[in-house]
């Protein structure tokens, strides 16, 4: 909703459009912790290992892509994209990538991620 107010300005009257404040940004860590409350630390480690904890390339709207056609934060493999679309998830968005990761976790656990199955996870800083 946009509110319009008449604000006197010197000898003239102008219209100032006041926009609502943008919603605060939520960190990827917070989103992952909320999505995986039962295994948040491991899923954070997976996201860090798989994508460097990035959905998009630095200073870009281009989704991080792995060498084997994996996409985004949780490096969702292209073979999972049809199922993601069937479920209404767009893995090219942060929200859709996390939702598909939740689906994969519920259907096979952490074994969907090479970083996990190959013992490549590193301890989280500070913990």
Q: Which of 15, 16, 25, 17 is nearest to 1 (CA)?
A: 17
> CA–CA separation, 41 vs 73, rounded Å?
15
Q: Can you tell me the mean pLDDT for 24-52?
A: 93
Q: Which of 116, 127, 117, 119 is nearest to 46 (CA)?
A: 116
> CA–CA separation, 2 vs 18, rounded Å?
6
Say what the pTM is: 0.79
Residue 126's pLDDT band (cuts 50, 70, 90)? confident
Residue pair 74/98 in contact (Cβ under 8 Å)? The answer is: yes
22-117 adopts what CATH topology?
A: Lysozyme (1.10.530)
């Amino acid at each position: 909703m946009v509110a319009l107010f008449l604000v006197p300005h010197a000898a003239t009257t102008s219209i100032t459009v006041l926009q609502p404040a943008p919603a605060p940004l939520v960190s990827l860590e917070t989103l992952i912790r909320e999505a995986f409350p039962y295994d948040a630390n491991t899923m954070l480690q997976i996201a860090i290992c798989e994508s460097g904890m990035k959905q998009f390339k630095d200073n870009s709207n281009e989704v991080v892509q792995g060498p084997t056609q994996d996409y985004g934060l949780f490096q969702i493999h292209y073979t999972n994209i049809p199922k993601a679309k069937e479920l209404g998830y767009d893995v090219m968005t942060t929200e859709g990538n996390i939702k598909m990761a939740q689906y994969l976790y519920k259907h096979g656990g952490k074994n969907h991620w090479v970083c996990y199955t190959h013992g490549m996870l590193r301890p989280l800083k500070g913990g």
